Amino acid sequence: MAILKTEAVILKTYKLRETSLILSVYTKDFGKIKLVAKGARGPKSKFKGCLEPLTHIGIVFYEKKTRELQLLSQAHLINPHVKMVGSLKKTILGLAAAELLDKAVAGEESFEKLFVLLANVLKALNENGGFLEAILWFFETQFIDLMGYKPTWNDCLSCGQSLGIDGGYFQAQNGGLLCSQCGAAGGGLVIHGETLEILYFLQRASLSEAVQLNPDQQQIAEIRKMFDLYFRTHIEHMRQLNSLEIYYKMK
Ligand SMILES: [Zn+2]
């Protein structure tokens, strides 16, 4: 058994017995792990206020490789994301990012860049106003890139012509788009040129720039459909994220 120390973001929590909690967390140094926090729901818990979903914490835990659940020993707050807690919209967008990561990442492999991305995205949701869904789009764009299945956004998959303002037809299974001419025969999800511009922008923008976006309803619908289709195609057993289903029903 080893005593390990790292940072973690809480993806999800489940009740265990009378007073305990199981946490699914994404850590800076050990990838995704499951922890038991004994007595966490009791009145005198030493973890009080630390173990809410999406909280960024420092942890010490006991690891036994043969066990699926590791034992949480200590936790302290690094960023409680207080403003996010006060906003249902921010919370649901944060939960959508956590849910995507939880569903798409299986193992306990260390991937610090992914941890940093998640922590930064939650921090940005906490701190920013504006068009907040763009923060999730930013997460999705970078996530696809880190997971190694970034689509070819710029050029037609078939003829290689640059797509630009004419837009194209998105083909999730082939990892890219067809131009308007090739797509007329090949088909796919229609993505207009202005929507493509947003996707290009998200790849070079900072998080505080992303929230300045002001997309119209058609662009929002195309981007939502495109990500949804892409994740369903490339991640096993993926369905629409529960958090997003709630988000789409909100005003
Ligand atoms: Zn083409």
Q: What is the pLDDT of residue 239?
A: 78
Domain-embedded: residue 127: no
pLDDT per residue over 70-83, tens digit each? 999 999 999 988 88
Q: What is the pLDDT of residue 136?
A: 97
Q: What is the pLDDT of residue 207?
A: 94
Distance CA 147, CA 110 (A): 13
* 191 alpha carbon – ligand 1 mean position (Å): 14
> Which of 80, 95, 115 is the C-terminal boundary of a domain?
80
* 238 alpha carbon – ligand 1 mean position (Å): 30
* 194 alpha carbon – ligand 1 mean position (Å): 18
* 202 alpha carbon – ligand 1 mean position (Å): 23
* 189 alpha carbon – ligand 1 mean position (Å): 15
Domain-embedded: residue 140: yes
The alpha helices in 72-216, defined as continuous H runs, are 82-85, 88-104, 112-127, 133-146, 180-186, 193-204, 207-210
Query: In this structure, what CATH number is given to the domain that contains residue 49?
Result: 2.40.50.140
Burial letters 181-208, b for 16+ CB under 10 A, else e? ebbeebebbbbeeebbebbebbeebebe
Tokens of 161: 């012509």
* 142 alpha carbon – ligand 1 mean position (Å): 26
pTM higher than the cut 0.75: yes
* 184 alpha carbon – ligand 1 mean position (Å): 9
Q: What is the pLDDT of residue 132?
A: 96
Q: Are residues 63 and 169 part of one domain?
A: no
Q: What is the pLDDT of residue 82?
A: 81
Q: In which residue ranges of the chain is pLDDT below 70?
A: none
The closest alpha carbon to 141, from 218, 26, 231, 214, belongs to 231
Domain-embedded: residue 109: no
Distance CA 123, CA 80 (A): 9
Tokens of 122: 């939650």
Domain extent, residue 52, equals 2-80
The alpha helices in the chain, defined as continuous H runs, are 82-85, 88-104, 112-127, 133-146, 180-186, 193-204, 207-210, 217-234, 242-249
* 116 alpha carbon – ligand 1 mean position (Å): 37
How many domains are there within the chain?
A: 2
Q: What is the pLDDT of residue 240?
A: 78
Q: Are residues 226 and 146 part of one domain?
A: yes
* Pairing mode, strands 176-178 and 152-156: parallel
Domain-embedded: residue 138: yes
- The three-point CA angle 8-9-13 to 5° equals 110
User: Nearest 5°: phi and psi at 119?
Assistant: -60, -40
